[in-house]
Structure 1
Amino acid sequence: MERGADARVTVHETLAARVLIGPGACDLVADEIARLGERRVLLVATPSAGTAAGRIADALGSRLAARFDRPAPHTPVAVTARAMAVAEDASADCVVAIGGGSAIGLAKAVSARTGMPQVAVPTTYAGSEMTPVLGETEDGVKTTRRDPALAPGMIVYDPVLTLSMPSGLTLTSAMNALAHAVEALWAPDATLVTDALATEAVAGILDALPEVLDDPSGLPGRGRLQSAAWLAGVCLAQTRMGLHHQLAHVLGGAFDLPHAELHTMLLAHVMAFNLPWAPEASARLNRAAGPDPVAAVAGLARRHKGPTRLSALQVPRDRLREVAERVVAAPYPNPRPPDVDAVTELLDAMW
């Protein structure tokens, strides 16, 4: 739906997916694989999810064909090639991913090359598990594509798996999810459904995240935060990304930067850049976040004890204009049309 007086027709598409959510859901993965009728599982796991991956592997028993524990951020094609070799040697017919965006992105890449069904078990709030989007990196350039076939057909959310997340990752990953919801509010193809989900996701994340940061062991808060991140992921699946995500993709691909920390740095800056041009999104954010949503988001970002500026990530200041030029040359849809000077100024403020 194009926003504005000329809008006439709204198109809303919902991806087919089976979602299990709640404490203990991880223990049902093997049963779900059996229900699907798959017999040779490639298990992809990030190192941080090793213990939970071991439980899934044990439960799969003879259905476990192979395990790949070396996914990498931004889904490098060279890593995908190594995972493909493992999958082919094992004659895998299904891929299960457990971990953050690195594991889930790799499973998408393998599925895209083989047609294998996917089961995603996220341990962070990144949201990739809900989307038909795959970003792959080669020679320092990250290329993103969208195809309904890329979306996992089954997602398993278990808040128990998030209890071991360090507070820094909890914050940056939740900010990643928050960015999905915020950008959905000003997306050109937003609908009544995505507006409602995004508003609820923003309110849920802003409510639950401070509680989780103050008490990382509290399962109820973790559950609320995971549920809100799920809604944000649905929004990401159903709307087009804007300047915020484009900057994260370009910066991440060019300088091999951590995706969640980039979202944490970017979001308040991009909100300040866009909200004067997005009155409907601004009104919804005011209801969900209070009279100054930029300040609310910036306040959360400042709680991060890791890098909070691009300079701290060793991004050369003299290359910021190059990043802005790349963004403006092929812009994502955005309420404020980007120009090189304005985007460079935004990046310089982050630096």
Structure 2
Amino acid sequence: MHDFIYNALPGKVVFGCGKLASVKEEVAAMNSGKALVLCTPEQRELAEQVSDLLGELSAGVYDKAVMHVPIETAHAGGDEASRVKAGCTVAVGGGSTIGLAKAIALHQGLPILAIPTTYAGSEMTPVWGITKDGIKTTGRDQNVLPETVIYDPELVTSLPGFITGPSGLNAIAHCVEALYAENANPIISMLAEEGIRAIARSLETAVNEPENLDARSDTLYGAWLAGASLGAVGMSLHHKLCHTLGGSFNLPHAEVHSIVIAYATAYNTPNAQDAIQRVARAMGCDKPEDAPKALHQLVKAVCNKTSLKELGMTEEDLDKAADIAASNPYYNPRPVTREGMRALLGDAFDGREPSVA
């Protein structure tokens, strides 16, 4: 067994159908005063419901969260928290809303209670991201890790299939990267493999039968494991590529992750055989070399868009994206080259079946 260091991340998880009703009790337990409820404009109704459940502990609803957390949005959210004298935030939604809560926590120290309504996994990580001048910057800070997370499978039954599929693949991507992370360890590897298995076996049912609470519970459970895995270890090629594509070309977060993961896995397979063997096992494959194709097949089964071209990227963007991805050295099992990134992005642009070189 390899040497390793494992740091358990603090935090309370409340999991189960109907657990949204416990939000007031959980905010009170945080002992941070009134909470500003954050959401996107589309989730205003649910945020209002949460605000009503909070009663006198609500400082109001702020519905300006947007994708990739532009710095202007982060500043405006912080200003609103100060205006209403909030002592904490309740983030109701996916990665955009939880990202806004993290940006506020980063600059103002307000603790977070997260109520995920997607499978993004951000609620379990100390990773923040803010976009400025078209470049998304990420970092890690324990102060942005939510203190409490309420997982209620009933809240994701209304998640449409075209969001459920990419969001679930996004969570699988977190698990895959955790398996070959520079600081991977046996505990996180067990969580990550189980996370892939739970989502892979239930995601197609969740897409086709959105009211199926067993499938929704399974996928949400997998997303929790995915977020916890990603939060405990570092990120590599897949996430760096997706942050480039999202921050620099404004492509949708989950959809980018769902498309890129098969190609990033194929790229890394020759240099991360043990990790990719775990992916293959969780996906029901016999060999590591089969894992990228299995991921690609799942994408085709649950996602409406399966290529970067369909997301609105242009062929002219590919060279710039390859330049950005290869410009800053970072850990990855296989060395990141400009040529390799251009080939990977070309395959993802056309949605071709991934191949292991």
**TM-score (norm. length: structure 2):** 0.94
After superposition, the C-alpha distances for 1:89-120 in whole angstroms (9 at most, x for unaligned) are 11111111000101000000011111111101
Q: What is the one-letter code of the residue matched to 1:273?
A: Y
Residue number in structure 2 paired with 1:338: 336
Q: Does structure 1 residue 299 correspond to structure 2 residue 297?
A: yes
The answer as to whether partners of 1:159 and 1:223 remain within 8 angstroms in 2 is yes
Residue number in structure 1 paired with 2:135: 141
TM superposition shift of 1:48: 3.7
TM superposition shift of 1:39: 2.4
Residue number in structure 2 paired with 1:210: 204
Give the whole-Å Cα distance in 2 for the aligned partners of 1:307 and 1:228. 22
Q: Which range moved further: 332-341 or 303-312?
A: 303-312
- The residue correspondences of 1:177-256 to structure 2 (distance < 5 A) are 177-256=171-250
Q: What is the one-letter code of the residue matched to 1:119?
A: L
Give the whole-Å Cα distance in 1 for the aligned partners of 2:5 and 2:255. 33
Q: Does structure 1 residue 108 correspond to structure 2 residue 71?
A: no
After superposition, the C-alpha distances for 1:249-270 in whole angstroms (9 at most, x for unaligned) are 0010011110000011101111
Residue number in structure 1 paired with 2:15: 21
TM superposition shift of 1:77: 0.5
Q: RMSD of the alignment, in Å?
A: 1.4
Residue number in structure 2 paired with 1:80: 74
Give the whole-Å Cα distance in 1 for the aligned partners of 2:198 and 2:330. 27
Residue number in structure 1 paired with 2:146: 152
Q: Does structure 1 residue 315 correspond to structure 2 residue 309?
A: no
3-state SS of paired residue (1:120): strand
The answer as to whether partners of 1:52 and 1:161 remain within 8 angstroms in 2 is no
Q: Which range moved further: 44-53 or 14-23?
A: 44-53
Q: What is the aligned counterpart of 2:157 among 139, 142, 163? A: 163
Give the whole-Å Cα distance in 2 for the aligned partners of 1:184 and 1:65. 37
TM superposition shift of 1:55: 1.8
Give the whole-Å Cα distance in 1 for the aligned partners of 2:282 and 2:58. 44
3-state SS of paired residue (1:311): coil
The answer as to whether partners of 1:49 and 1:123 remain within 8 angstroms in 2 is no
Q: What is the one-letter code of the residue matched to 1:302?
A: K
Q: What is the aligned counterpart of 1:32 among 17, 23, 26? A: 26
State the identity %: 38
Give the whole-Å Cα distance in 1 for the aligned partners of 2:42 and 2:151. 16
Q: Which range moved further: 52-61 or 216-225?
A: 52-61
TM superposition shift of 1:279: 1.1
3-state SS of paired residue (1:312): coil
Extract unaligned runs of 5+ from structure 2: 350-357
Residue number in structure 1 paired with 2:275: 281
3-state SS of paired residue (1:102): helix
Q: What is the one-letter code of the residue matched to 1:130?
A: M
Q: What is the one-letter code of the residue matched to 1:24?
A: G
Q: Which range moved further: 55-64 or 323-332?
A: 323-332
Aligned residues: 345
TM superposition shift of 1:36: 2.1
Give the whole-Å Cα distance in 1 for the aligned partners of 2:10 and 2:51. 26
The answer as to whether partners of 1:66 and 1:87 remain within 8 angstroms in 2 is no
TM superposition shift of 1:50: 2.8
**TM-score (norm. length: structure 1):** 0.95
Give the whole-Å Cα distance in 2 for the aligned partners of 1:94 and 1:192. 34
Give the whole-Å Cα distance in 2 for the aligned partners of 1:96 and 1:130. 14
Give the whole-Å Cα distance in 2 for the aligned partners of 1:71 and 1:18. 24
TM superposition shift of 1:180: 0.3
Extract unaligned runs of 5+ from structure 1: none
3-state SS of paired residue (2:335): coil
After superposition, the C-alpha distances for 1:104-150 in whole angstroms (9 at most, x for unaligned) are 00000011111111101000000000000001001100000111121
3-state SS of paired residue (2:240): helix
Q: What is the aligned counterpart of 2:55 among 49, 53, 61? A: 61
The answer as to whether partners of 2:14 and 2:151 remain within 8 angstroms in 1 is yes
Give the whole-Å Cα distance in 2 for the aligned partners of 1:303 and 1:72. 28
TM superposition shift of 1:327: 1.5
Q: What is the one-letter code of the residue matched to 1:257?
A: L
Q: What is the aligned counterpart of 1:257 among 244, 251, 268? A: 251
Q: Does structure 1 residue 348 correspond to structure 2 residue 346?
A: yes
